[in-house]
Structure 1
Amino acid sequence: MKNISKVFYITIGLIILAVGYGALAPESFEAITTRAKTFVSTTFGWYYMLLMSVMVLISIFFIFSPYGKIRLGKDTDRPDFSLISWLAMLFSAGMGIGLVFYGAAEPLSHFATSPATEDPNTNAAFKEALRQSFFHWGFHVWAMYGVVALSLAYFQFRKGEPGLISSTLKPIFGKKMEGPWGVLVDVLAVFATAFGVATSLGFGAVQINGGLNYLFGVEMGIFSQFVIIAVVTVLFIGSAWSGLSKGIKYLSNLNLVLAIALLVFVIVLGPTLLILNMFTDSFGGYLSNIVQMSFSTAPLDSSNREWLDMWTIFYWAWWISWAPFVSMFIARVSKGRTIREFMLGVLVVPTLLSAIWFSSFGTTAIDLQKKGLADLASLPTELTIFEMFNTMPFSLIISLFAILLIASFFITSADSATFVLGMQSTNGSLTPPNSVKLTWGVIQSTVALILLSVNGLTALQNTIIIAALPFSFIMILMIISLFKSLNDEAKLIKKK
């Protein structure tokens, strides 16, 4: 394979060590990583809350500042993709499969264990459940992705640097980023990306298996999940092989169409008027309470703090661990857009779509639970959505549609990650060789299968959440570096 960097070989070695330990001693691996994850959540929870809130403020600043006019590329460059295709790609890569997995289950869980109301399973808990879901999947997540992606796109297309995390730190550290320190930064990014996507592959296979089991009695277990991952691997490698402007673009557009169609099904066949009212009321509540929610650490309430560690702080660490992959992909497809257009698109559109999604699926699930028409709360997360569909007309068709959407999101996330991993391990090449993408595709699927076979996905999830802490410090340096470079450019423009 040509143009392979040291990052590729070092990361492969680390992956083999981690997966080997997880496969040979799964209980020990999970126990150690769980303790480490708990320590990070408890000790650095305040830090994560502050960091994610600062990301929102920085995003708003870029939208309204004079820097917003600067184009991500040369002044004559224009976007490579239409607005719809661009939004579809960043949405699919960012969190598509998660919305299907948690769309009904997360609000339902918050409804039963709401941290901000004294009584669960009440009307107040209903509203709070949706507000918390909006918060976990809304402005904070996309602000963080947006700021990291902006830094990558600016240095890559405006300054002509390689598409690497380490390249964004050159204004601070200079040539040091071309040596061992730069390799260390990029290895951390590749490690988090590879493990993050392997975890999603595992969870996606479990949900597809759960849906097929629920509908057709397909056996739950490693053999069925092996077949699912094998089929998906062939499809996403084929998509990645065909390139960014064909396979990934077309699949992302398909995802958007399928997601909107499924959303319309739920709104029309579910409690339509309640969904619309709950969205309006809860989204307003989210905006009204966003400052308090952003800085809440529950220092004097141990039960509330336990909930925050399990949900909000876990999510913040989880999203940060995904930042190298998602942000690099968003950066790659955003050449030619202005900073203002970029930040508005990344921050606003996915947040609104996520809020509408959780309002529709969450309201329907909670309404069924309240009325006693279905006991969704007792089901595993991967089956919640299918039992919800079972209460609706055309349930089989809708469930099959959902499985198709999960598979489509599944494939898009994986082939996007394969593309990004190829970039990161070939010195930032914008067109990584197919052989490298094929290698990464096989590695991701193999890791997912090995850890599924020993019930090691939780330990893997813990591992990348732990890795999020050092990467969060890199994110801060990326922001400082971006402002330094933008300020230098602004001074040059003033002189001219």
Structure 2
Amino acid sequence: MKNHTRKIDWPLIIIPILGVFSLSFLFDRSPKQSHRILSAIRGGLDQHFTFAYILIAIFFLCSSFYFAFSRYGKVKLGADNDQPEYSNLRWGMMVFTSTMSADIIFYSLSEWTMYAQEPFIKAKSDVMEWSLTYSLFHWGPIVWSFYIVLAVAFGYMLYVTKNKRQKFSEACRPLLGRRIDGWVGKIIDLVAIFALIAATATTFSMSMPLLATTVGNLIGVTNVKTLSLLLMVVVVSIYLIASVLGMKVMSRLSTICYTFFIGLMVYVLLFSGEFSFIIDSGVQATGNLLQNFVGMATTTRSQGFTQKWTIYYWSYWIVWCVATPFFIGSISKGRTIKDVVLRGFAWGLGGTYLSFIVLSNFGISRQINHLVNALADLQNGATYSQVILKIMETLPQYRIALVLLAVAMIGLYSTVFDSITMVISKYSYHHLAINEEPSRILRGFWAVVFIVLPLSLLINDSTMYNIQSVAIIAAFPTMIVMVLIVISFLHNLVRGE
């Protein structure tokens, strides 16, 4: 036990604990003051650094194509005779379920209502079409390029250069050298851990009320807040059990989770009575995105829409980049860079676009056919979860759809948090060989830490603005490190020729 504790990098555990409990205390005791602080910091970033987020997004998208289609695309993540550990199907399902948490279902069902209320979108010729178009943009190639580029960088670090430390900062070693062994490396790893804490807080706080409302409808419980807290415990318990049983269980859990996710899509497509509308509108929105992609990616003057939504979504994905790409890289041994990039885009965009095209268009069809008036309900004080439930209740035998939705959300929560507790536990060691697994006790510890801040946000009914602000603020230092990792990766590739 003493030998094991000596391996742990204690500052990377103690400092985040103090930070999490301090933030939770601030949100709990001084909600108005915490809102003012978050607003001031976010306002400064929006005013002075919007261009930085946009340039980073363009840089990563271009980098993904360069690594795939340049001579480096043929580089294998491993030795020449290494073969992929997972089939293409299982690898793809693990990529999607380890990166897409339950919030994809929440946003697929509600995001169009958020955009339809924005002045920037209201000024468009077709409000509903542009609402879906922006969903496809915000969850599209740019944000997936964040994950994919970093995944190949981490995979190269793990299986080609075979660095002895499995840390976020280690990917910067080719550029920063021995500085990684000192305070510079500590700062980078602390940035990563705090970013991941912000990511989990945002995910749980946004989508957990929908899961609680759904389960409450099925079992006849109306106290959403209490049910949300209980469901957090259930989710944590599931991914703790999965983490103890190992990667084989993780792989099977991802398959089960993906099956229920697809089941929900199929049920809505077949039984909503809107099959043609869903497909037609999906094609129309995709075409609209292709025609306007460059303008959408570089728009800064948009009545605040870019700052409120585009920067938020890119920030949201950026804070997840400290863990999920590491996991993708760790399961990509034996694959070429080109294979990881192209298959990553195929599985990522395929799953997210399927979700938004089916579920968003289902909700839009109910709005334009006057079966529900989601926009009016929201203006009258209804929550997004309540509106989503009203939309789901328009389905025949809607409880079947609710069961599929609830199980898919619990599964997506579990697979994502199983992967990130594995990664963040690896970051917590001074040294950890590739074939070594982190302590199960340490993984359990991080599982508990990750729910402290979202519990505080849920208990205090934090606004969407506060929840978004947490992600945007944490993303700013993280994206700087992400650029350093890409430059270091390119340096390694050039040196390895």
Q: What TM bracket, shorter-length normalisation?
A: over 0.9
Amino acid at match of 2:22: L
Q: Are 1:453 and 2:453 an aligned pair? A: no
Q: 1:231–1:484: structure 2 CA closer, same or farther, 3 Å change rule? A: same
Structure 1: state its 5+ residue gaps: 299-303, 491-496
Equivalence for 1:436: 442
Q: Give, in whole Å, the separation in 1 of the partners of 2:245 and 2:39.
A: 39
SS in 2 for 1:324: coil
- Say yes or no: does 1:292 pair with 2:290: no
What letter matches 2:310 in structure 1? T
Instruction: Name 1:200's counterpart in structure 2.
Output: 203
Query: Which residue pairs with 2:172 in the alignment?
Result: 169
Pick aligned residue for 1:253 from 252, 255, 258? 255
- 2:188 partner amino acid: V
- The answer to whether 1:22 aligns with 2:23 is no
Aligned-pair CA distance for 1:134: 0.4
Structure 2 Cα separation of the partners of residues 87 and 293 of structure 1: 28
| Bigger mean CA deviation after superposition, 384-393 or 233-242 | 384-393
- 1:181 aligns with one of 184, 195, 203: 184
SS in structure 1 of the partner of residue 304 of structure 2: helix
Cα displacement (A) at 1:128: 1.3
Residue in 1 that maps onto 2:151? 149
Of 7-16 and 124-133, more deviation after overlay is shown by 7-16
Task: Kindly tell me the number of residue pairs found equivalent between the two proteins.
Answer: 481
**Residues 151 and 168 in structure 1, CA contact (< 8 A), matched pair in contact too:** yes
Partner SS for 2:81: coil
> Residues 258 and 428 (structure 1 numbering): CA distance in 2 closer, same or farther, change over 3 Å?
farther
Residue 159 of structure 1 aligns to a residue whose secondary structure is: coil
Q: Secondary structure at the match of 1:81?
A: coil
Q: Deviations over 1:113-162 (max 9, x none)?
A: 3735625xx6x222212211100001001001111222111112110112
The CA deviation string for residues 216-236 of structure 1, in whole angstroms up to 9 with x for no partner, is 441324332222112222111
**Equivalent position of 2:214 in the other structure:** 211
Tell whether the 8 Å contact from 1:67 to 1:486 is kept in structure 2 after alignment. Answer: yes
Listed as ranges, the matches of 1:403-482 within 5 Å are 403-427=406-430, 429=432, 430=434, 431-456=437-462, 459=466, 461-482=468-489
User: How many angstroms does 1:209 deviate by?
Assistant: 1.4
- Report what 2:327 is aligned to: 329
Counterpart AA for 2:206 = F
CA distance in 1, matches of 2:286, 2:430: 43
Q: Deviations over 1:398-423 (max 9, x none)?
A: 11211111111111122222111111
Code of the aligned partner of 2:24 = V
2:96 to 91, 95, 105: 91
Q: Percent identity of the aligned residues?
A: 25
Q: Alpha-carbon deviation of 1:246?
A: 2.1
Does residue 276 of the first structure (1) align with residue 282 of the second (2)? Answer: no
Structure 1 contact 105–385 (Cα < 8 Å) conserved: yes
What TM-score do the two structures reach when normalised by structure 2?
A: 0.92
Distance 1:188 1:273, change over 3 A: same
Larger CA deviation: 222-231 vs 272-281: 222-231
Query: Residues of 2 paired with 1:427 and 1:332: CA distance?
Result: 19
1:4 partnered with 2:2: no
What is the CA-CA distance between 1:349 and the residue it aligns to?
Answer: 2.3
**Structure 1 residue 463 displacement after superposition:** 2.7
CA distance in 1, matches of 2:177, 2:134: 42
Deviation at 1:79, TM superposition (A): 1.6
Which residue identity lines up with residue 50 of structure 2 in the other structure? G
- The 8 Å contact of residues 119 and 303 in structure 2, kept in 1 or not, is answered as no
The aligned residue for residue 137 of structure 2 is: 135
Q: Quote the Cα distance in structure 2 between the aligned partners of 1:37 and 1:196.
A: 16
Deviations 1:50-74 (A, max 9, x none): 2112211111111111100101122
Other-structure match for 1:494: none
The CA distance in 1 between the partners of 2:359 and 2:431, in whole Å, is 39
Structure 2 CA distance for aligned equivalents of residues 207 and 93 of structure 1: 20
- SS, match of residue 200 in structure 1: helix
Q: Which AA in structure 2 matches 1:284?
A: G
Of 438-447 and 452-461, more deviation after overlay is shown by 452-461
Specify which of 118, 121, 132 is matched with residue 123 of structure 2. Answer: 118
Which amino acid in the other structure matches residue 57 of structure 1?
Answer: C
Extract unaligned runs of 5+ from structure 2.
none
Is the CA contact (8 Å cut-off) linking 1:64 and 1:340 kept in structure 2? yes
Counterpart position of 1:372: 370
Structure 2 residue corresponding to 1:312, chosen from 310, 327, 337: 310
* CA drift at 1:215: 4.2
Deviations 1:334-386 (A, max 9, x none): 22211000011122321132122211111111111112111223242223332
Deviations 1:225-262 (A, max 9, x none): 2221122221111111112x223211111121111111
CA distance in 1 between counterparts of 2:227 and 2:192 reads 31
Partner of 2:111: 106
The alpha-carbon deviation at position 456 of structure 1 amounts to 4.3
**Is the 8 Å Cα contact of residues 152 and 164 (structure 1) preserved in structure 2?**
no
Select between 370-379 and 265-274 the one with higher mean Cα deviation.
370-379
* In 2, Cα distance between equivalents of 1:218 and 1:31: 35
